Amino acid sequence: MSFVVAIDGPSGSGKGTITKLVGEKLGLINIDTGATYRCVALATINKGYKLEEESKIVSLLNEIKIEFKKIEKEEKVFLNGKDVTKEIRSKEVNKIVSQVSHIPEIRKKMVDFQRKIAEGKNVIMEGRDIGTNVFPNANVKIYLDATPEERAKRRMKQNKENGIESNYEEILENIKFRDHNDKTSNVAPLKKAEDAIYVDTSNLTIEEVTKKIIEIINHQFGDASKIGKN
Ligand code: DC
Protein backbone atom coordinates (compact mmCIF):
# COMPACT_ATOMS: atom_id res chain seq x y z
CA MET A 1 0.00 0.00 0.00
CA SER A 2 1.23 3.45 -0.80
CA PHE A 3 0.34 6.36 1.45
CA VAL A 4 1.16 9.97 0.55
CA VAL A 5 1.11 13.00 2.81
CA ALA A 6 1.62 16.20 0.80
CA ILE A 7 3.05 19.21 2.63
CA ASP A 8 3.08 22.41 0.59
CA GLY A 9 3.84 26.01 1.43
CA PRO A 10 6.33 28.84 0.92
CA SER A 11 10.00 28.70 1.94
CA GLY A 12 10.55 29.05 5.67
CA SER A 13 7.03 27.95 6.59
CA GLY A 14 8.61 25.12 8.57
CA LYS A 15 7.96 22.44 5.95
CA GLY A 16 11.44 20.92 6.10
CA THR A 17 11.63 20.52 9.86
CA ILE A 18 8.01 19.44 10.28
CA THR A 19 8.12 16.94 7.42
CA LYS A 20 11.22 15.34 8.91
CA LEU A 21 9.71 15.07 12.41
CA VAL A 22 6.30 13.82 11.30
CA GLY A 23 7.99 11.35 8.92
CA GLU A 24 10.14 9.96 11.75
CA LYS A 25 7.19 9.69 14.13
CA LEU A 26 4.93 7.91 11.61
CA GLY A 27 7.56 5.86 9.77
CA LEU A 28 7.08 7.67 6.45
CA ILE A 29 9.89 8.31 3.98
CA ASN A 30 10.69 12.00 3.85
CA ILE A 31 11.14 13.52 0.37
CA ASP A 32 12.28 17.14 0.01
CA THR A 33 11.32 18.11 -3.55
CA GLY A 34 12.88 21.59 -3.26
CA ALA A 35 16.25 19.84 -3.02
CA THR A 36 15.79 18.45 -6.55
CA TYR A 37 15.42 21.98 -7.99
CA ARG A 38 18.29 23.17 -5.81
CA CYS A 39 20.53 20.48 -7.36
CA VAL A 40 19.74 21.73 -10.86
CA ALA A 41 20.45 25.32 -9.71
CA LEU A 42 23.79 24.21 -8.21
CA ALA A 43 24.74 22.37 -11.41
CA THR A 44 23.90 25.57 -13.35
CA ILE A 45 26.25 27.60 -11.16
CA ASN A 46 29.00 24.98 -11.33
CA LYS A 47 28.87 25.07 -15.12
CA GLY A 48 28.88 28.86 -15.14
CA TYR A 49 25.63 29.05 -17.11
CA LYS A 50 23.52 32.19 -16.92
CA LEU A 51 19.77 32.11 -16.20
CA GLU A 52 19.09 33.41 -19.72
CA GLU A 53 20.83 30.33 -21.16
CA GLU A 54 17.75 28.17 -20.69
CA SER A 55 18.60 25.55 -23.29
CA LYS A 56 22.01 24.99 -21.68
CA ILE A 57 20.36 24.59 -18.27
CA VAL A 58 17.86 22.13 -19.76
CA SER A 59 20.72 20.14 -21.34
CA LEU A 60 22.07 19.59 -17.81
CA LEU A 61 19.20 17.17 -17.25
CA ASN A 62 21.14 14.58 -19.28
CA GLU A 63 24.21 15.00 -17.12
CA ILE A 64 22.92 15.06 -13.59
CA LYS A 65 22.05 12.29 -11.19
CA ILE A 66 20.26 13.22 -7.97
CA GLU A 67 20.06 10.80 -5.05
CA PHE A 68 18.59 10.94 -1.56
CA LYS A 69 20.44 8.79 0.96
CA LYS A 70 20.07 8.31 4.67
CA ILE A 71 23.55 8.24 6.21
CA GLU A 72 23.87 7.75 9.96
CA LYS A 73 20.23 8.81 10.42
CA GLU A 74 20.83 12.04 8.43
CA GLU A 75 19.05 12.68 5.12
CA LYS A 76 21.70 13.58 2.54
CA VAL A 77 21.39 14.84 -1.02
CA PHE A 78 23.89 13.70 -3.65
CA LEU A 79 24.53 15.30 -7.02
CA ASN A 80 26.55 13.10 -9.37
CA GLY A 81 27.88 11.15 -6.41
CA LYS A 82 28.90 14.20 -4.37
CA ASP A 83 27.26 15.13 -1.05
CA VAL A 84 25.77 18.58 -1.73
CA THR A 85 23.39 18.74 1.26
CA LYS A 86 24.94 21.97 2.52
CA GLU A 87 25.95 23.48 -0.79
CA ILE A 88 22.40 23.48 -2.17
CA ARG A 89 21.37 25.88 0.64
CA SER A 90 23.95 28.54 -0.30
CA LYS A 91 23.09 32.17 -1.04
CA GLU A 92 24.06 31.66 -4.67
CA VAL A 93 21.64 28.78 -5.09
CA ASN A 94 18.87 30.68 -3.23
CA LYS A 95 19.23 33.51 -5.71
CA ILE A 96 18.51 31.47 -8.85
CA VAL A 97 16.58 28.39 -7.72
CA SER A 98 13.12 29.86 -8.15
CA GLN A 99 13.78 30.86 -11.77
CA VAL A 100 15.43 27.51 -12.52
CA SER A 101 12.43 25.67 -11.06
CA HIS A 102 10.11 27.57 -13.39
CA ILE A 103 11.71 26.31 -16.59
CA PRO A 104 8.98 23.94 -17.91
CA GLU A 105 11.35 21.13 -19.05
CA ILE A 106 13.13 21.18 -15.68
CA ARG A 107 9.79 20.99 -13.83
CA LYS A 108 8.54 18.14 -15.95
CA LYS A 109 11.66 16.05 -15.38
CA MET A 110 11.79 16.79 -11.65
CA VAL A 111 8.09 15.97 -11.16
CA ASP A 112 8.60 12.62 -12.99
CA PHE A 113 11.60 11.95 -10.74
CA GLN A 114 9.65 12.86 -7.57
CA ARG A 115 6.79 10.53 -8.52
CA LYS A 116 9.25 7.76 -9.29
CA ILE A 117 11.07 7.91 -5.96
CA ALA A 118 7.75 7.81 -4.10
CA GLU A 119 6.41 4.83 -6.08
CA GLY A 120 4.97 2.10 -3.89
CA LYS A 121 6.23 3.75 -0.70
CA ASN A 122 4.65 5.49 2.26
CA VAL A 123 5.94 9.03 1.99
CA ILE A 124 5.66 12.50 3.37
CA MET A 125 6.63 14.82 0.56
CA GLU A 126 7.25 18.54 0.92
CA GLY A 127 7.26 21.14 -1.81
CA ARG A 128 5.11 23.74 -3.55
CA ASP A 129 2.90 21.73 -5.87
CA ILE A 130 2.69 18.30 -4.28
CA GLY A 131 -1.03 18.42 -3.46
CA THR A 132 -1.95 20.29 -6.64
CA ASN A 133 0.26 18.62 -9.23
CA VAL A 134 2.71 15.89 -8.16
CA PHE A 135 0.18 13.88 -6.12
CA PRO A 136 -3.28 15.42 -6.64
CA ASN A 137 -4.73 12.24 -5.04
CA ALA A 138 -2.53 12.37 -1.94
CA ASN A 139 -4.17 10.81 1.13
CA VAL A 140 -3.59 13.92 3.23
CA LYS A 141 -2.82 17.45 2.03
CA ILE A 142 -1.53 20.21 4.24
CA TYR A 143 -0.62 23.80 3.37
CA LEU A 144 1.82 25.35 5.86
CA ASP A 145 2.21 29.12 6.01
CA ALA A 146 3.82 31.87 8.14
CA THR A 147 4.47 35.61 7.75
CA PRO A 148 7.54 36.59 5.65
CA GLU A 149 9.20 38.17 8.73
CA GLU A 150 8.78 35.03 10.81
CA ARG A 151 10.09 32.93 7.94
CA ALA A 152 13.15 35.17 7.55
CA LYS A 153 13.90 34.79 11.28
CA ARG A 154 13.68 31.03 10.98
CA ARG A 155 15.96 30.95 7.93
CA MET A 156 18.53 33.05 9.85
CA LYS A 157 18.48 30.55 12.71
CA GLN A 158 18.73 27.58 10.35
CA ASN A 159 21.68 29.15 8.52
CA LYS A 160 23.43 29.87 11.81
CA GLU A 161 23.04 26.25 12.85
CA ASN A 162 24.51 25.16 9.51
CA GLY A 163 27.41 27.57 9.81
CA ILE A 164 26.16 29.76 6.95
CA GLU A 165 26.60 33.51 7.43
CA SER A 166 23.52 35.58 6.59
CA ASN A 167 21.89 38.98 6.86
CA TYR A 168 18.23 39.43 7.96
CA GLU A 169 17.29 42.15 5.44
CA GLU A 170 18.86 40.19 2.60
CA ILE A 171 17.01 37.03 3.60
CA LEU A 172 13.67 38.84 3.98
CA GLU A 173 14.10 40.41 0.56
CA ASN A 174 14.99 37.05 -0.96
CA ILE A 175 11.93 35.40 0.66
CA LYS A 176 9.58 38.11 -0.66
CA PHE A 177 11.16 37.92 -4.09
CA ARG A 178 10.82 34.15 -4.20
CA ASP A 179 7.23 34.25 -2.88
CA HIS A 180 6.31 36.62 -5.65
CA ASN A 181 8.03 34.46 -8.28
CA ASP A 182 6.50 31.27 -6.92
CA LYS A 183 2.95 32.65 -6.61
CA THR A 184 2.84 34.37 -10.00
CA SER A 185 4.51 31.62 -12.00
CA ASN A 186 2.69 30.49 -15.15
CA VAL A 187 4.20 27.06 -14.81
CA ALA A 188 3.23 25.88 -11.32
CA PRO A 189 2.07 28.72 -9.11
CA LEU A 190 2.32 28.16 -5.38
CA LYS A 191 -1.24 27.79 -4.14
CA LYS A 192 -3.18 25.80 -1.62
CA ALA A 193 -4.96 22.78 -3.10
CA GLU A 194 -8.71 23.14 -2.60
CA ASP A 195 -8.82 20.11 -0.35
CA ALA A 196 -5.65 20.95 1.62
CA ILE A 197 -5.83 21.96 5.26
CA TYR A 198 -4.34 25.41 5.94
CA VAL A 199 -2.04 25.68 8.97
CA ASP A 200 -0.54 29.05 9.99
CA THR A 201 2.65 28.26 11.91
CA SER A 202 3.67 31.89 12.72
CA ASN A 203 2.88 31.65 16.43
CA LEU A 204 3.35 27.94 16.93
CA THR A 205 6.41 26.03 18.13
CA ILE A 206 7.83 23.15 16.08
CA GLU A 207 6.35 20.70 18.61
CA GLU A 208 2.91 22.31 18.36
CA VAL A 209 2.92 22.17 14.55
CA THR A 210 4.14 18.55 14.56
CA LYS A 211 1.36 17.59 16.97
CA LYS A 212 -1.23 19.40 14.89
CA ILE A 213 -0.14 17.71 11.65
CA ILE A 214 -0.23 14.26 13.28
CA GLU A 215 -3.73 15.05 14.58
CA ILE A 216 -4.82 16.04 11.06
CA ILE A 217 -3.38 12.83 9.59
CA ASN A 218 -5.04 10.77 12.36
CA HIS A 219 -8.34 12.53 11.78
CA GLN A 220 -8.26 11.95 8.02
CA PHE A 221 -6.76 8.48 8.01
CA GLY A 222 -7.64 6.87 11.31
CA ASP A 223 -4.65 5.76 13.37
CA ALA A 224 -1.61 7.25 11.62
CA SER A 225 0.82 5.25 13.75
CA LYS A 226 -0.23 2.16 11.75
CA ILE A 227 0.66 3.63 8.33
CA GLY A 228 4.35 2.78 8.35
CA LYS A 229 3.54 -0.75 9.48
CA ASN A 230 1.47 -1.69 6.41
O1 DC B 1 11.51 24.52 -0.49
P2 DC B 1 12.79 25.15 -1.04
O3 DC B 1 13.05 26.54 -0.54
O4 DC B 1 13.99 24.26 -0.83
O5 DC B 1 12.57 25.24 -2.63
C6 DC B 1 13.52 25.78 -3.48
C7 DC B 1 12.86 26.35 -4.74
O8 DC B 1 12.31 25.30 -5.53
C9 DC B 1 11.75 27.36 -4.48
O10 DC B 1 12.06 28.60 -5.06
C11 DC B 1 10.53 26.79 -5.13
C12 DC B 1 10.98 25.61 -5.92
N13 DC B 1 10.14 24.44 -5.69
C14 DC B 1 9.14 24.20 -6.58
O15 DC B 1 8.94 24.99 -7.50
N16 DC B 1 8.37 23.09 -6.46
C17 DC B 1 8.56 22.22 -5.45
N18 DC B 1 7.79 21.13 -5.36
C19 DC B 1 9.58 22.48 -4.50
C20 DC B 1 10.34 23.60 -4.66
pLDDT tens per residue, range 191-229 = 899 999 999 999 999 999 999 999 999 888 776 666 655
**pLDDT of 6 higher than 50:** yes
* Residue with CA nearest ligand 1 atom 6: 34
Q: How many domains does the chain have?
A: 1
Q: Which has more confidence, 95 or 227? A: 95
* Residue with CA nearest ligand 1 atom 5: 34
pLDDT at 229: 54
Query: In CATH, what number is assigned to the domain containing residue 174?
Result: 3.40.50.300
Contact 195, 141 (CB under 8 A): yes
* Residue with CA nearest ligand 1 atom 1: 34
Averaged confidence pLDDT in the chain: 92
Using a 10 angstrom Cβ sphere, with 0-12 exposed, 13-18 middle and 19 or more buried, the burial of residue 220 is: middle
Distance 37 CA to ligand 1 centre (A): 6
Beta bridge partners of 67: 78
**13, 37, 78, 124 from 68: Cα distances, Å:** 22, 13, 6, 14
Contact 228, 30 (CB under 8 A): no
Nearest-angstrom CA–CA distance, 94 and 124: 23
pLDDT over 90, % of the chain: 73
Strands 123-127 and 4-8: parallel
Distance 143 CA to ligand 1 centre (A): 14
**pLDDT of 65 higher than 80:** yes
Residue ranges making up the domain that contains 184:
4-229
The residue to mutate among 11, 17, 159, having the most atoms of ligand 1 within 8 angstroms of its beta carbon, is 11
pLDDT at 187: 82
Distance 29 CA to ligand 1 centre (A): 19
Q: Which residues line ligand 1 (CB under 6 A)?
A: 11, 33-34, 37-38, 97-98, 101, 127-129, 178, 182, 188
Contact 49, 56 (CB under 8 A): yes
pLDDT tens per residue, range 157-201 = 988 998 888 899 999 998 998 888 888 888 888 889 999 999 999
Residue among 138, 118, 207 nearest 215 (CA): 207
* Residue with CA nearest ligand 1 atom 2: 34
Cβ contacts of 197 within 8 Å, gap of 6 or more:
141, 142, 143, 216
Model confidence at 230, pLDDT cuts 50, 70, 90, reads very low
pLDDT (mean) for 19-39: 95
Angle at 156 between CA 182 and CA 51, to 5 degrees: 40
**pLDDT of 124 higher than 60:** yes
Backbone angles phi, psi at 106, to 5 degrees: -65, -45
Distance 61 CA to ligand 1 centre (A): 17
